[in-house]
Chains A and B, each alone.
Chain A
C-alpha cells in the first residue's frame, strides 16, 4: 500500500440524504456534504457522491482510473451504449463521427438562421398565449426541441416527438427505482427513434444537408453506435438548452439590478449564460466507475466504486467561487464544470451558447416589454440529476 493510501481517510456515509430532498433543493445538501468531505457514500442514491470542485476536476481528466464505461448503466439500457459511456479510443471514434456539425463555423453558416426562425415562431406562440403564459411550455421547450430536430436531421419527426423521446429516455436513465412504467415509456421511445433513423438515413443519403444524421451517412460508424449516440444527443441536447434558458430568465427577473445592467448593455448576455449554467448546472450529476483502488482528494475508494460526479455541487464550491450561492453575472471569471471537462466535454456547448445567449435571451427581453415574474403564480425550479424550471409563468406589457 502506498504512503498516500495509508494516510487516506475512509469515505464518510451520508445516510441523512434523501432523493425527495435533493429533488426539491439539492444545494444546501451539497454544501453540507462538501464542508465535511469531498466524497460520501450515499445509501439513498446507491453511489459515492463527489461534491468538491477539485475532486470532480481530477475525475474528468483521468479516464484511466475513472471510467465512463459504467457497469449495469441505466443509460446504456435506456439509450444504448453511446459515446458518453465509452472511454478513448472507442469514445474518440464516435465523437469524430459528429464532424463539424456542432462547431462555430457551421453554426454561423447554417444554424443561426434556423435558430432565429424558430425563435420568431415560438415567440409568436408565447405572445399569442398572452401574459401569464408559461415561458417554458410555450417558448423554451419547443424552441430547444425544434432547433435540435433540425440539427440532427429528423425531418420525419416533430418537435413534440423530440420532447417526448427526450423526457421518456431521460426518465429511463434516471430510473433508479426500476419502475416498469418508466421502462415501458422509455423503450417505446427507443424503438421509435430507431425506426425514425432507419427511415431518414436513405433520404439523407440522397438529399444531404448540414445535419448530424446526414454527416453520419458518409462516416465509417456502425448503425448500432449511430442509434445510441443519436438517443444520447436527444437526451443531452434538448432539456439542457431549455433549462439554461429558463433558469437565465428566472435569475434575471429575480435580480432587477443585474437585469437593468443587461438591458442597457446586451453584450452581457454571454455572461448571463455562463453564470446561469454555473449557478444551476442543467446536468447536475453524471456517473463514473473506478477501475482500481484509488485515493481521491485524500479519500479512499475501492475498485468498482460507482461514483456520481456532482458538477452541480462543484460549481458552488466556495474554494473556487466567492459567495457561490448568489447569481452574479459580474463575478470573477473562473472555469465552471457545467459542460463537463476532458474528452467528454459537451459537444453541444457552442450550439447552446449561440441559440440561448446569442438569439433567445436578447430577443425575449427586446420583444416582451417589462417582462416580469407573475406574483400570483410563483415559478418552480426542481431536480438534481437534471435541474431546471418546471414552470415559469411570466407577465409583460402587451399592446
Chain B
C-alpha cells in the first residue's frame, strides 16, 4: 500500500492508503475526496486533477510528458513552475510510495 495526503485549501487533510498503480486522481475520485474532479478519467485531457506536490516529494517523480505539459497551461488555478502536476499522471508504486499534495482552490 502507498499513502497519499491531500491538503485542502481550507486546511483540512484527507489521507488515503491506495494499491500500487492507483493514480492520485483515481484515488481521489473513487474515495470522494473533494477538490479533484478528474473529468476525463486520466487521459491528460481536461486539467481538472491539478495538484501542487509538496517540495520534499518532488524527487523521483516521472518527467512531465507532452500532454501533461500542455494541460498544465490550461489549469484554472495558476501553475507553479516546480510543484504543479496532473494527479492522473502520478501513480502509486511508480511515482511515489508516500506523497503529500496541496489542492488548488478550484479545478474549473
Contacts and interface: CB of A to CB of B under 8 A. Distances in A.
A298 interface: no
Given A333-B106, A335-B108, A104 B73 contact: yes
B40 interface: yes
B29 A61 contact: yes
Interface string A324-348: 0000000001110001011111010
Given A333-B106, A335-B107, A339-B39, 20 more contacts: A60-B41, A61-B29, A61-B30, A100-B66, A103-B45, A103-B70, A104-B73, A334-B108, A335-B48, A341-B39, A342-B40, A342-B41, A343-B40, A343-B43, A345-B39, A345-B43, A345-B46, A347-B45, A349-B45, A349-B46
Interface of B: 29-30, 37, 39-43, 45-46, 48, 66-67, 70-71, 73-74, 106-108
B interface: dominant SS: loop
Contacts of B71: 104
Nearest to B44: A103
Contacts of A103: 45, 67, 70
Interface of A: 60-61, 95, 100, 103-105, 274, 333-335, 339, 341-345, 347, 349
Contacts of A339: 39
Q: Which one of A335, A339, A344, A347 has the greatest number of beta carbons of chain B within 10 Å?
A: A335
B41 A104 contact: no
Contacts, number: 45
A339 B38 CA distance: 12
A335 B39 contact: yes
B39 to A, nearest CB: 5
A333 B37 CA distance: 12
A30 B56 CA distance: 49
A104 B44 CA distance: 12
B41 A343 contact: yes
6 contacts: A104-B70, A343-B41, A343-B42, A345-B43, A345-B46, A347-B45
A81 to B, nearest CB: 20
A60 B43 CA distance: 14
Nearest to A333: B108
A342 B52 CA distance: 22
